[in-house]
Amino acid sequence: MLFNSTTFLFLFLPLVVLAYHCLLRLGRAGAAKAWLVIASLYFYAYWKLEYLPLLLLSIVVNYYLGIALAKTREGRGHAGALLGLGLFFNLGVLAYFKYAGFLLELFNALGGSDFSMAALVLPLAISFFTFQQIAYLVDCYKGFAHEYGFVNYCVFVTFFPQLIAGPIVHHKQMMPQFAAVAAGGNSVAGSALAAQGLFIFALGLFKKVCVADSFAPLADAGFSQAVLSRSDAWLTSLSYTFQLYYDFSGYSDMAIGAALLFGIRLPVNFLSPYRASSIREFWRMWHITLSTWLRDYVFIPLGGSQSGTRKTLRNLLLTFLVGGIWHGAGWTFIVWGGMHGLAMVVQRLWSTFARPMPRWLGWLLTFNFINITWVFFRAPDLATAQRIIGAMFSPADSGLSGVLLYQAMQQADNPLYSIVVGGLNLSLLWLAPLVLLATVFARNSMEQSGYDAGAIALPNWKIVIAACAFALAVLFLLAGSPSVFLYFNF
């Protein structure tokens, strides 16, 4: 089920929230959490029922491994062996479904063999719930996890606002909140908290439906062209740069907003990353929960920055290669992760041996680096990425300039897109800079709502703006059909 579908907006979400709070008012906190688990499993299975058994198996196995690790901490058993078993299970399942085909192709290429296997359907959200539960097992091993109730654990893993595409939540962030429900700490979300949640959700829906989905036809048209002019190649890369940001940050906003309706605070996942003036700053603002996971469970275990400059640079590069592979099985993701790892290495060396550059120059270099590397992230193969980047920097402006906008309008399935983009002749040659200015200088949804500062009160005029944004997004939805979020592919 999609956040940006009328079924979710006008049926599923209101029904689940209403029943949840009714159960809390009746003093049935346990039933309220059980209802959340049932609703979340239905939400997951609505997409494809075949995905559900794997999620349930993963929950049961990791829950009982956590219990076993807890007993081991009390002096019984071998903690290292149990943790190794948990890592083997989780990474093995992830590798089989997500990387088996790629690894088999690589084996055939290296060995000259011709083995084949049936195509596997990637289970929805497998990367997210796998990483989340790996972190849980590691923290059980270290003695940091103390909440082992099965229903609480199920809610922790399946809570539908963050289940499909994050944020990647930590048990220390979530379990105490769900446990507080039983004590009445979150019995009913107040009107101010609900208003803040609806405000953030509405802005996220607007980002996805009205902004990201408007750039999508341009990006899709550009990546499908055999020949692009230089200007259209830049249109292609910028279109995807904005599509990806507004798609994923929109999802994260909707997840945070929906969670607030249950009295649950999810971690912030985006803080205007396109404002960053360095690659290090970018990763402190982009997909923050993944960056934190990679730092805590990959970079630091490798030795972090405590083993000298050479090993620190190695650890940075390996961490970002893991981040690239996490996103997908393909050379494009490996190259993308490697480029970001090398950029982190270069920045660390620069900060050690050279003067700091002006912030405006750092921003210009960082944004263009991000824009170029997103081409590898989006391209179906390295040849496509090379073709687009080659066109971007071609000294001769080959191809048919301006064809991209026409192709996008032909591919778009939303009549409003053709009216707005085609009717007003909004060529992205000047629309993209306009969106960039808004992205860099306008206050983001976390700042507008006060969520990042822990505030919840909103003035009436902001509520009116959110209502208008929601109404416009619904109008776009009714004119077309809901599109899948990009991070559903990971």
Extract long-range pairs of 313-316: CB within 8 Å, 24+ residues apart: 313/345, 313/348, 313/349, 316/341, 316/344, 316/345, 316/348
171/440 Cα distance (integer angstroms): 33
Contacts of 346 (CB under 8 A, 6+ apart): none
Q: Which amino acid is at 426?
A: L
The whole-angstrom distance between residue 256's C-alpha and the CA centroid of its chain comes to 12
Q: How many C-beta atoms surround the C-beta of residue 102 within 10 A?
A: 17
Tokens 């907003």 found at: 257
H/E run at residue 248: helix 230-260
φ and ψ of 481, to 5 deg = -145, 150
- Contact call for residues 137 and 83 (beta carbons, < 8 A): yes
Q: Residue 368: exposed, middle, or buried by beta-carbon count in 10 A (0-12, 13-18, 19+)? A: exposed
Q: Can 327 be counted among the known catalytic residues?
A: yes
220/378 Cα distance (integer angstroms): 10
The one-character DSSP state at 381 is S
Name the catalytic one among 171, 287, 327, 340. Answer: 327
Hey, which residues are catalytic here? 327
